[in-house]
Structure 1
Amino acid sequence: MATVVIVGDGPGGLGAALFLARAEHDTRVYGTDKTAMHHAHLHNYLGIEELGGSEFQQIARRQVTAAGASLDETEVESVERRDDRFVITLDGGTTVEANYLVLAGGKSAQSLAAQAGATVEDGRVSVDVEYRTDVDRLYAVGRLVRPERSQAIISAGAGATVALDILSREAGKDVHDWDSPPEQ
């Protein structure tokens, strides 16, 4: 079981947390619930006809905690890469170690990406198609990657992509997260 720290509690961070927690990884989300989603109104999110962003956040946060992830409103002050782990320093000086770090906290997390050694150019963190940065086990999603083309459904999908990449890496093979209908 891996420990995954996610910085940011919008659709990208919570999307990653849901998949990882359901797969029983130690999943910790740090975010102050000040996501831009509270200023959104969803009307083009697949499967949702219309929903306010704050209501979406409430539902998503409940879903993620029910799956086993922890949500913590403590702010992350700094990140350091040590050997094959990340050391995350929280407000107040407490540190947390993680095997994987997912940055999903909007533009404010750019400095955390840079602290961890990731390439940050022109206001965005550089990633590949799986949202991996050039630092092993460090991922970035959402406005960090697409600042001028941010969209809730894209961010949630990016979070799910990250989670499946981590799950596959941990399993040593491709992992799929198929939902199965309940047995009758």
Structure 2
Amino acid sequence: MSRIDETKDFLPVRIAVLTVSDTRGLSEDRSGDILVHRLLAAGHELADRRILPDERADIAAQLRAWCKDSGVDVVISTGGTGLTGRDVTVEAHRDVYEKEIDAFGTVFTIVSMQKIGTSAVQSRATGGVANGTYLFALPGSPGACKDAWDEILAKQLDFRHRPCNFVEILPRLDEHQRRK
């Protein structure tokens, strides 16, 4: 079963947080605050934090910029994963992905089902990889951000987590670009 291997050192990763909202500013961004608090409490570094409106091209451009930034290992966005017409974060993420982490959405749904029952079907949480960077799109609710961090990301972004984790393969995510 999953566990922390205390014989290994913790390796912090550099995480950028993006809140997607047409209405929230930094002072009202409870979901972004939760993610920042949790990633810092875990020992990771906040690489950057932004708030953007629900505009697909702008979201994708910011994701691409962070994927090109050697100071960013992981991007976590919150908001815009629902079913309404303005919810375009998932599409923006998929515009950027080289590979989708299909099981991320599945595991998030399982976690959500335990908390909110069948309402979990309304989330389109997703994860993927681009240019050696992990990208995760979470719903905009504080509860969803807590659940995603506490039940999935805190473990997978901890190098000591066994039997495997995202951090141990981070150096190999862009190996195809280094081949001759």
Q: What TM-score do the two structures reach when normalised by structure 2?
A: 0.39
Normalised to the residue count of structure 1, the TM-score between the two structures is 0.38
